[in-house]
Structure 1
């Protein structure tokens, strides 16, 4: 399964880049992530629980960042084993381009599964993979930008309201 998409993020490229490399941000953004430990340099160990069709499994595996061009692009790869459910492998090539009012984030996602998961059929797998990728990048955008205009903001100060929790943590 392959998926290509873009997101306009209302934050400077430096903030978006810092968020991409932050394990706390990644943990919050990966759907079903229960645990994420490690570092960008050494890779991360992850525990993720997902329900795909009738199969629910806890995957233990690794997340690595490679092909890093500081401030511009990287590849986020993950591989996990879910016991009898099988395995899942995937990655996203992420690129950042400065634009007026923020950053254009582009991504190309690729995913593969094996074992019982593969028996569910490509239509179900493709749909779930698309949903998980969209959810990851929606959460990522929210972490960097803050709540959308439809959601109530946590604080009343106008400048703070527009910032995501990650941008607030950086004091920007």
Structure 2
């Protein structure tokens, strides 16, 4: 299986690089991943549940990063065993190119699968791989928005002291008055 694509990211090249090298971010963004642990220089043990068509399995494996050129990209190799469901192994190249909107992430993946998963047929495998990639990028975009999105334009106005019902500033244990009024539904 071979796959390639690009995604526009609304964050800087450096922020994308940092996130793509953070095991916790990767664990959150890979659906079914319950383990993404460093084991040495640029090597990680990974555990994740994968479902391809009617075949579900818990895969254990490792990811090794190489040819790093911070913050522009790297290559990685992966391999995993899913018991009787089969195995997966392959490599990927990731590039980050800055642009006016943030940066563009480019990727290529070359992978092989074996066992029961391989018996499902190439179209089903390719569809599952594309779905996993789309899900990763959706989760990655959401995580980056949570971590790096600028505050809403009206956040400063809400933080200012605003009179609550009756003309007095409402507070609760040091909460910002604008927020407190909004939480009470009286803004």
TM-score class, shorter-chain normalisation, is 0.7 to 0.9
Alpha-carbon contact 1:9-1:141 (below 8 Å) kept: yes
Query: After TM superposition, which residue ranges in structure 1, 4 or more long, deviate above 2 angstroms?
Result: none
Aligned to 1:11, the other structure's residue is in SS state coil
Mapping of residues 47-66 of structure 1, within 5 Å: 47-66=47-66
- Deviations along 1:125-149, whole A, 9 cap, x unmatched? 11111111221122222222349xx
Q: Once the 2 structures are TM-superposed, how far is the Cα of residue 40 of structure 1 from its aligned partner? A: 6.9
- Deviations along 1:24-75, whole A, 9 cap, x unmatched? 0111111210111115724110111111111110001001211111100112
Alpha carbons of structure 1 residues 3 and 52: separation in structure 2 relative to 1, 3 Å: same
- Deviations along 1:91-128, whole A, 9 cap, x unmatched? 32110111013111111122211011111111111111
Aligned to 2:116, the other structure's residue is in SS state helix
Alpha-carbon contact 2:43-2:64 (below 8 Å) kept: yes
Q: Once the 2 structures are TM-superposed, how far is the Cα of residue 82 of structure 1 from its aligned partner? A: 0.5
Rounded Cα–Cα distance in structure 2 between residues aligned with 1:107 and 1:23 = 19
Structure 1 unpaired stretches of 5+: 148-152, 162-172
Alpha-carbon contact 1:94-1:108 (below 8 Å) kept: yes
**Could you say which residue in structure 1 is the equivalent of 2:23?**
23
Alpha carbons of structure 1 residues 140 and 39: separation in structure 2 relative to 1, 3 Å: farther
Question: How many residue pairs end up in the alignment?
Answer: 153
Rounded Cα–Cα distance in structure 1 between residues aligned with 2:35 and 2:14 = 26
Whichever of the two has the greater Rg, that structure is: 2
Rounded Cα–Cα distance in structure 2 between residues aligned with 1:15 and 1:26 = 14
TM-score, normalization by structure 2: 0.75
Q: After alignment, is 132-141 or 33-42 more displaced?
A: 33-42
Rounded Cα–Cα distance in structure 1 between residues aligned with 2:143 and 2:39 = 19
Mapping of residues 23-172 of structure 1, within 5 Å: 23-38=23-38, 41-146=41-146, 157-158=151-152
